Amino acid sequence: MRSRFDKELDLLNNELIEMASLVEKSIENVTQALIHKDVELAKEVIEADKEIDNMENNIEARCLRLILQQHPVARDLRLISSILKMITDLERIGDQAQDIGEILLTLSKQNFKRDLIYLPKMAEATIKMVKESIDAFVNSDIELANQVIEYDDVVDNLFVTIKDELITLIREDVDFGEQSIDLLMIAKYFERIGDHAQNIAEWVVFSITGEHAGERKIQD
């Protein structure tokens, strides 16, 4: 009876997964570009953002069309409204990967004052969050979504550690001030990526339960 609508919802799901995998690839690539000072890879990340933006536009158009044509209710409404919100977070993650890539264009040419230890750890933690938030969506896994929400604290703590370390570094050698600020900005971008992954996980919970995980946290 509603085969056309179901087909459209399947397409929507697939497009979201495709967009998420592009975003995952971007943060993985930008992490590799950071670790290996790979300017070419950083340029690829910058370039890939256009494709992510296009996908956001396409998915948004499909969502709006479905709202217009199908007047979704109940789980259909929750799914479509969650996807509309999730693609905004995914697009922002893409932007932040691009921003990191742009910093790397100049930073990669410099010698680092110290080996990077916490920043790759932080990048790894955010990649895990993004991947698992999308896995939670694909498998309608509330438990995994809640784990992602909790895991944001790990990323936030790593940010504080990195910030403290960079403050010490600047104190020790003012000549590395600019480099330290670049590294701090990269850390901040990763921290924001973690926040967006947390948002995605919250929308996953909403699409399944109708309850927003963020609201529950505030009430607690």
Binding site for another protein (CB under 8 A): 1-2, 5, 71-78, 209-211
H helical segments located in 2-141: 3-36, 39-70, 74-107, 118-138
Shortest distance (Å) from residue 81 CB to another protein: 9
Closest to 129 measured CA to CA, from 194, 54, 216, 47:
194
Task: Name which of 2 and 65 has its Cβ closer to another protein.
Answer: 2
Q: At what angle do helices 3-36 and 39-70 cross, to 10 degrees?
A: 160
Residue 72 or 214 having the CB closest to another protein:
72
Min dist. Cβ of residue 84 to another protein (A): 15
Judge contact between 197 and 131, C-beta under 8 A: no
Q: How far is the CB of 167 from another protein (least distance, A)?
A: 47
- Closer Cβ to another protein, 77 or 154, answer by number: 77
- Spatial separation of the C-alpha atoms in residues 179 and 194, rounded to whole Å: 23
Of the two residues 178 and 211, which places its CB atom closer to another protein in the complex?
211
Q: How far is the CB of 90 from another protein (least distance, A)?
A: 24
Burial of 88 (0-12, 13-18, 19+ CB in 10 A): middle
Structure tokens at 126: 């955010």
